């Protein structure tokens, strides 16, 4: 039997949550690393700021100054924690990595803060991870049985333990040993006393790119983190590839057999920033193409096209350009409530929506509108948006969703609710339309989605992307699913 | 000789700054008040949240519970300070007023926090004020000479002193005595132990509206603060009008001669929220009309129209719709840096811009673009935006400003830099174009601005709006100008 | 009618309490000031630290640097707030005054923080005050009727208003005008842009001494604040005297008729620090003499004398030396709960006592003990101490109180409970003994107290000290008593 | 090579210091545990408050509620961190353990916070430890070589790893395996999901007692922690004994061969609270006996005996009673600077002394005094105390130290300076007298110390106490000494 420790958070105290059963074992995150720069930690802070949309709960940076590793890990936004000169000054050194984590349910608990650090016999190792391992619980049980002491519930810690227990002499070999034992999705940046390391899982599910600025290499989850500092995009890290950056330059190692990449399609639909280029495709371009496909598949006569800001804007522009129906900012977003403001309970969420969006009555009144949103998860937000449009005088509300129906949970780092809470998993189209209160409702089709990605069609035998949330076609084994059960194994806040 | 007291701020301590010479005597603000509602302070908090764009430095609420006034005044955003149940629970009572203030340069000093409160012989009086008095320094000197003790540098405090010293028996009469002694721009909400009071200066420079929800009246700077709680817009408070809301209902008193209203035109151009209706006109509608006028006045051949988000979006849409040039989100805004992030120094501001906006290269590369921004103040932001567009591969950059050149400072509650720092006050059009680095530059004309407002032309004898920032035609006396000098009398951060 | 404003405290915000009816209008405090020292504010911080026993709620310092006054006022202990170099560095200047306030009921509210500051027409004036005015409410009502705005409930603020409204041209004259209008007990230090001022009320009820260090003068509530920095005691400020310290040296002004001094006898019994010399008499010496008188008046056969630490120690030593009964530390005090730990409710206070004192069983078991405490207020602490002694095995417990029975409240700056809560005001000696559970109980007599002070007898016509808590013989008018009623006019925490 | 991670502390963040070379690897601490009480964590908080003198840097509590462990670990005093109801309410369960740590040099870093927790294959285990292991570094290196990841530099963590790696099935057996591998001094309380465990090292160097309240057992470092809640002292835990408290009652296991106990004599001299009974002897009684022995060994003609408060008080009383020289409180301690106020540098320490003690001039002036202090470490404090006595007018100052000269550092949990900083290790008696500036100086002899302990003489073959600081006779192996070197292996702040 394994007991659990709950460490309660408090102002000016540390707090860890060892709750194995918690609903936040999985998270979407962002990572960044740089090697050889005199202001390494300042660069990492800027990179993390550009990746802030990937995680608002907490941020952390570890640097190495030639003899000592320095670490700062804090709750809240990068700008709040890492904008003062003192903090950056403490993070000495010419190499550093950083991490941002997803927002939790409002608590101040520092769960599984990253980057994690361990002293191995071969030297220090700091690791930051975006993704989710699907056999971490199994490995963790074995480790505990074998006398390991685990300090977090993070699947990332498993990587440290596996590297620590490897019998290989060199730290890179130990790291590869660890990667070969794990299953799931991961984009990792790691720092040793000599090297900056990047690694992407065998299918390349989560993104990771290589950049360069004045001859120094850096790694980032998205290209927007290169743009903020004016760095040059070099290339995507490949699936199953490790890159090792050191004073000797850059080295590439394959730790997994070469198979076609199968990146997560949800990065394009919702998660990545529109100005990022993910796996060679502009996110903004894909979203506009989705809008055009959606217009072709589900045209409607209307006066204006209105996006649900901000993630619905590009698809709405594509819809408008394809149909010629004028694009109008019919919903105004309050800038002082960001994505951060995700609330734990359904009831608080209702208040949240009213605080976040408001109808631009002057643009809407008396109009028949096409409302475009990026995705539909539980549907509770959509209900309120449609109602708000009607209260502002909309004559008709036609809802268009810029993705296919979500019918399966994610296990690779995106929090999704349990299956029974996914509206599309339990309702047919007409039932969803009624629930939402729209005059019409349409989703993008799977073929339409692949067309928007520039593919002729989905390759059923070997899909070009992992689209498991829409198809249930999971690309990796799900070892822990039998240990933890689906409820504990997957859940997340609505993607609004 | 008058000495000065500097109270230094610190965590968990009070701190007032009595610096008469400070550069932040003037601020843009937002006010809200409600009478007769069982959850008065919660409603005020929501109203202030909707008005957050009018001031991010600090927020305050004063309520009256039938026997005692309660007050909470805090630095930071409304959502951070007034979202917890405990705070709202302490603000007991069925009547409450609130205030948001503009962001300062990053300090934690609570300057002149509002609402202010005083006990008069006729009872308690709390006052919150948006605007700026142009004879407050003069009155203040007289008050000190006469034995008054002033606790803040706020011009608002002058109103309290004048009301306290009035020999009239009733509190409303005292309040009118005070208003008749002051000069400048003001939209005021005040609370006594019996009444909620609203007042707007004799020209109606700053906005103030009356709303109603379930039979209870409320006052707000903008209609968006009514919308957030689903309240009904009743009417604008008139220039020179006091409304008194009590258990007996609503009463209107004129305290100044009836003259044509002359509201500040800058509310439409930049300050008010696009979904607000100010003095009967949709802000979004005005901005789109400005974009269309700008397109007619300064057309250009280009591939795409790109707004500087977010305030340039409506004008860019108007420009796009008038010209048929496609609208594209060519600049992406980082949501985690709001308007709040205004930095004190020019050099930090340069960093700020890079943290706030990024180029959407996929949409821009190789394109000839029309860049639309709401206004041009110092021009430093514009320089960086144009450079960013070119670095992202724009073939041509045509800059269009959705307002006339700003050549005079404001003295009515909008921080503006000293005149010599206003780019348009010291450069001609071609010099500005060169400075900014655009291929072409054009501003909206004054006649175009009035056309966008729905007027045939500006009435030079009696202008329909106060447009002093563009014309130098100040609508009121500027008594303190001779005391303080223009430098101290007017300055503010760039309106980006 | 006068309304009231309650400002609720919160982390990192200011908070004032305007509650006129509150039970904390009166407080015991300490003051310190220095003129002409290059590290004036550091010296004041050390002086306040030595006076910390006079008030633990909050501390404040105001300095003047030749052109600007600087102010820091904070909740908590001097060592917590004023030990860092940054804070002291901000308090620039060669002249400074400071203030410590009594502990409140655990809240973080900054009530009536001192020193207070006002700009008069004749220049700035900062004031810190120990004592209590007995006509402040009356004056305050007149001021409000005359249009003054008051920001605190502090009686000290009344002094500022009176000085501001004086028609005299010089600031010292204005200050004297103010003093001549007020009634009660006060030791004041004040700071102008030229002078450090000290004043003591016409009877010299509260203490104030003049010290000197390297030719610079300073003022302090007690001599222990001179000792901490190695300063020389010069003399007591006289009753009805103002001293004015400036670059020109030191000047003495009498603002009240010369009458015999009548200082508060309670400073010797409980309040002052034992190493202080108050009005020429060693506090430690007086307390030991009290113990000897008590031994003569109320001898008893016992094995050991045990003080209630720490205030009972000198009297217990005197008792032991007079009787020859060995002195033993039979009660150990937990140093981590100081006087600070005064709790608001009777029930919490019971817990407090157990956390503060513990029996030294090895010294007590089987012994007949004489327990010596400084005073008896409500008696609740005594009950618990006696019970603790018996539980530790004491054979007999003889309680000896080193002061006469307290039967009247104080109105001069010492919080005392309402009369009905004073045990001696409602119980006779035998009833008190039973309530406390002692084998015998005795108080010092009034004649004994005067003998311990070195007097032959109390001069009933013109008492040498004010002993109103024991006799009800109040030395000044009590104007506000009829306004506020005795309940609101006097109350304080038990002197334990 | 082993790298090091420095985690920097900050408000509202976690922070660990992995600095192996730090000067704070060793600390004096206090522990407390209770089993089967409905308010277990509240009882632990009170117990820790009574043990606060054993550590003021940080405090922590872990409770078990039948299914989950709860943890709170915070910097600062118990009363500050664990006095609010919310914190205690979160620490649910009927079993809990707690820990207080020594004060550090003023930083806010949470070093090696305790209790530590680990999930073993056999269940959860929380451990709190007072003492110091003398082979922890050696074990730690082996663990890292074998793939263990260590999260703190705490020697306590070594115990967790050893228990985790034990192959024994039951958690108690694993715990015993761990204890049998370690060397040094320890009093441990541990908590599993079924049991409260107490253990004392094979020589019983650090104290640990068993108490009982209403049938529930508890463990504490000192009896004063039983007294605060009115619990009954049952017995000392024996050297080499484990006690296991569960629903089945209490069980005793010996994990080490029976040898005579050899407790640390320094607990009596300085560290334990005077009202505690340690290993059957009253600390107060021992200290008084020491004073009497000292009087016999080093009598002097003088007017008064003055203790250095507070730790010198009992010995001064013994000296006074033995000699008949009157005892006087000639030095007054400022209660607002406790032992907490230990400063990092010698220079700050000089300021500290002046802030902590002041001369009671009235008692001292013109007198020949015997000054009694508990011990002499570096001597810097003594220099200042003697000087302060002379400045207050003492005619003669005879210094008497209530312990033998300290000539060796401690390695068992008491911070001592490096040997070269111990005054007695580098100066002979006359040189010390001169350095301190006293008229005469005398220490207690080793035989005198043993007589005061009630022994006829020190048993050189098998000393009744470990007195290594005076004799260099270390009772255990010092394995790490060769790894770390003596500098890093032992140091601490002066015991004042």
Q: Residue C354's pLDDT is what?
A: 63
Q: Residue D10's pLDDT is what?
A: 32
pLDDT tens-digit map of D53-92: 998 888 999 999 999 899 888 878 888 888 777 788 889 9
Least confident of A338-342, C380-384, D185-189, D284-288: A338-342
> Does the beta-carbon distance from B12 to C108 stay under 8 Å?
yes
Q: Residue A354's pLDDT is what?
A: 63
Band (A337; pLDDT cuts 50, 70, 90):
low
Tokens 């899982």 locate to A201
pLDDT tens-digit map of D212-236: 998 999 999 999 999 988 899 999 9
Backbone angle region of A289, left / alpha / beta, with phi > 0 → left and psi within -120 to 50 → alpha: alpha
The span from the CA of B160 to the CA of B128, in Å, is 11
The Cβ of residue C230 has, within 10 Å, a number of other Cβ atoms equal to 11
The span from the CA of A204 to the CA of D181, in Å, is 46
Band (D337; pLDDT cuts 50, 70, 90):
low
Chain D residues inside the 8 Å CB shell of A11: 11-12
pLDDT tens-digit map of A456-479: 999 999 999 999 999 999 999 998
The pTM is what? 0.84
Closest A-chain CA to B275:
A360
> Does the beta-carbon distance from D151 to A147 stay under 8 Å?
no
Band (D105; pLDDT cuts 50, 70, 90):
very low
Best D127, D147, D174 member to test A by mutation, with max A CBs in 10 Å, is D147
Non-local CB neighbours of A2 within 8 Å, separated by 6+ positions = A20, A141, A144, D119, D121, D123, D124
* Distances B20 to B484, C61, C68, C163 between C-alpha atoms, Å: 9, 21, 11, 22
The residue ranking higher by pLDDT, D190 or B28, is D190
Q: Residue A86's pLDDT is what?
A: 76
Q: Residue C19's pLDDT is what?
A: 27
Least confident of A18-22, B280-284, C286-290, C464-468: A18-22
Chain D residues inside the 8 Å CB shell of C220: none
pLDDT at residue B274 greater than cutoff 90: yes
Best C3, C4, C93, C158 member to test B by mutation, with max B CBs in 10 Å, is C3
Task: Closest CB to C282: pick one of D77, D326, D362.
Answer: D362
The closest alpha carbon to C47, from C125, C117, C128, C107, belongs to C128
Band (B76; pLDDT cuts 50, 70, 90):
confident
Cis peptide before D310 (omega within 30 of 0): yes
Q: Name the percent of chain D lying above pLDDT 70.
A: 86
pLDDT tens-digit map of A40-96: 998 999 899 999 999 888 899 999 999 989 988 887 888 888 877 778 888 999 999
pLDDT at residue B212 greater than cutoff 50: yes
Burial D79-93 (b: 16+ CB within 10 A, else e): bebbbeeebbebbbb
Q: Is the CB of residue C234 less than 8 Å from the CB of residue C278?
A: no
What does the H/E/C string look like for B300-363? Answer: CCCCEEEECCCCCHHHHHHHHHHHCCCECCCEEECCCCCHHHCCCCHHHHHHHHHHHEEECHHH
Q: In the complex, which subunits touch D with 3 or more CB pairs below 8 angstroms?
A: A, C
Chain B residues inside the 8 Å CB shell of A231: none
> Does the beta-carbon distance from C79 to D336 stay under 8 Å?
yes
Q: Mean pLDDT across chain B, nearest whole number?
A: 86
The residue ranking higher by pLDDT, C193 or B347, is C193
Q: Residue B314's pLDDT is what?
A: 98
Least confident of A163-167, A195-199, B420-424: B420-424
The span from the CA of A143 to the CA of B225, in Å, is 56
The residues of D assigned a catalytic role are 29
Task: Closest CB to D149: pick one of A3, A10, A160.
Answer: A160
Least confident of A262-266, B103-107, D233-237, D423-427: B103-107
Q: Is the CB of residue B97 less than 8 Å from the CB of residue A356?
A: no
The span from the CA of B147 to the CA of B219, in Å, is 34
Between chain A and chain B, how many beta carbons pairs sit less than 8 Å apart? 124
Q: Mean pLDDT across chain A, nearest whole number?
A: 86
Q: Is the CB of residue B331 less than 8 Å from the CB of residue B357?
A: yes
pLDDT at residue A420 greater than cutoff 90: no
Query: What is the least distance, in Å, from the CA of A258 to any CA of chain B?
Result: 30
Non-local CB neighbours of A125 within 8 Å, separated by 6+ positions = A117, A118, A119, A160, A163, A171, A175, A190, A191, A192
> Does the beta-carbon distance from B72 to C11 stay under 8 Å?
no
Query: What is the least distance, in Å, from the CA of C142 to any CA of chain D?
Result: 41
How far does Cα C306 stand from its chain's mean position? 26
The span from the first CA to the last CA of chain A, in angstroms, equals 38
Q: D209-213 and D232-236 as β-strands: parallel, antiparallel, unpaired? A: antiparallel
Q: Which two tokens stand for residue C424?
A: 């001696």
Least confident of A171-175, A424-428, C154-158, D47-51: C154-158
- Sign of the CA dihedral with B179 first, then B181, B187, and B188 last: negative
Positions of chain C with pLDDT lower than 50, given as ranges: 1-2, 8-26, 104-111, 338-353, 487-496
pLDDT tens-digit map of A339-372: 332 332 333 334 444 677 899 999 999 999 999 9
Q: Which two tokens stand for residue A153?
A: 């519930």
> Does the beta-carbon distance from D273 to C355 stay under 8 Å?
no
Going along chain A from its start, the domains and CATH numbers come out as 29-262 (3.60.20.10), 283-456 (3.40.50.2020)
pLDDT at residue B18 greater than cutoff 60: no
pLDDT at residue B122 greater than cutoff 90: no
Chain B residues inside the 8 Å CB shell of C137: none
Q: Residue D86's pLDDT is what?
A: 76
Burial of D277 (0-12, 13-18, 19+ CB in 10 A): buried
Q: In the complex, which subunits touch C with 3 or more CB pairs below 8 angstroms?
A: B, D
Judge whether B14 is annotated as a binding position.
Answer: no
Q: Residue C418's pLDDT is what?
A: 80
Non-local CB neighbours of C482 within 8 Å, separated by 6+ positions = none
Q: Residue A8's pLDDT is what?
A: 45
Closest A-chain CA to D166:
A147
The span from the CA of A155 to the CA of B150, in Å, is 60
The residue ranking higher by pLDDT, C39 or B291, is B291
pLDDT at residue A443 greater than cutoff 70: yes
């Amino acid at each position: 039997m394994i007991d659990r420790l709950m460490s309660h958070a408090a102002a000016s105290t540390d707090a860890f949550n060892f709750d194995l059963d918690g609903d936040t074992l999985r998270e979407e995150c962002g990572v960044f690393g740089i090697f050889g720069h005199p202001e390494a930690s300042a660069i990492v802070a800027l990179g993390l700021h550009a990746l802030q949309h990937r995680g608002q709960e907490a941020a952390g940076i570890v640097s190495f100054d030639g003899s000592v590793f320095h670490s700062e890990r804090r709750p809240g936004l990068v700008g709040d924690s890492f904008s003062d000169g003192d903090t950056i000054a403490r993070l000495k050194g010419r190499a550093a990595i950083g991490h941002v984590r997803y927002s939790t349910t409002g608590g101040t608990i520092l769960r599984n803060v990253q980057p994690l650090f361990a002293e191995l016999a071969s030297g220090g190792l700091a690791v930051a991870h975006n993704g989710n391992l699907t056999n971490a619980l199994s490995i963790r049980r074995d480790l505990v049985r074998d006398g390991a002491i685990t300090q977090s519930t993070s699947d990332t810690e498993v990587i440290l333990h596996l590297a620590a227990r490897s019998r290989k002499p060199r730290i890179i070999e130990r790291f590869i040993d660890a990667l070969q034992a794990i299953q799931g999705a991961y984009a990792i940046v790691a720092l040793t006393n000599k090297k900056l390391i990047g690694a992407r899982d065998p299918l390349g599910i989560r993104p990771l790119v290589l950049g360069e600025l004045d001859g120094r290499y850096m790694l980032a989850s998205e290209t927007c983190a290169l743009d903020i500092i004016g760095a040059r995009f070099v290339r995507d890290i490949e699936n199953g590839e490790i890159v090792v950056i050191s004073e000797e330059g850059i080295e590439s190692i394959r730790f997994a057999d070469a198979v076609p990449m199968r990146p997560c399609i949800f990065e394009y639909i919702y998660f990545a920033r529109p100005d990022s280029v993910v796996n060679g495709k502009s996110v903004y371009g894909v979203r506009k193409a989705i809008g055009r496909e959606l217009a072709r598949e589900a045209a409607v006569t209307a006066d204006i096209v209105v996006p649900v800001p901000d993630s619905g804007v590009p698809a709405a522009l594509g819809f408008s350009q394809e149909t010629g129906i004028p694009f109008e900012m019919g919903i105004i977003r309050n800038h002082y409530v960001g994505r951060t403001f995700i609330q734990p309970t359904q009831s608080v969420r209702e208040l949240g929506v009213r605080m976040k969006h408001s109808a631009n009555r002057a643009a809407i009144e008396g109009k028949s509108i096409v409302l475009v949103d990026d995705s539909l998860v539980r549907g509770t937000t959509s209900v309120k948006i449609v109602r708000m449009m009607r209260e502002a005088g909309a004559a008709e509300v036609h809802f268009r969703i810029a993705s296919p129906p979500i019918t399966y949970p994610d296990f690779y780092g995106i929090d999704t609710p349990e299956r029974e809470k996914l509206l599309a998993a339990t309702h047919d189209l007409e039932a969803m339309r009624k629930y939402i209160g729209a005059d019409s409702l349409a989703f993008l089709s799977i073929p339409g989605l692949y067309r928007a990605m520039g593919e002729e069609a989905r390759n059923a035998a070997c899909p070009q992307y992992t689209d498991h949330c829409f198809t249930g076609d999971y690309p990796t084994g799900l070892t822990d699913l039998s240990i933890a059960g689906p409820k504990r194994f997957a859940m997340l806040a609505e993607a609004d």
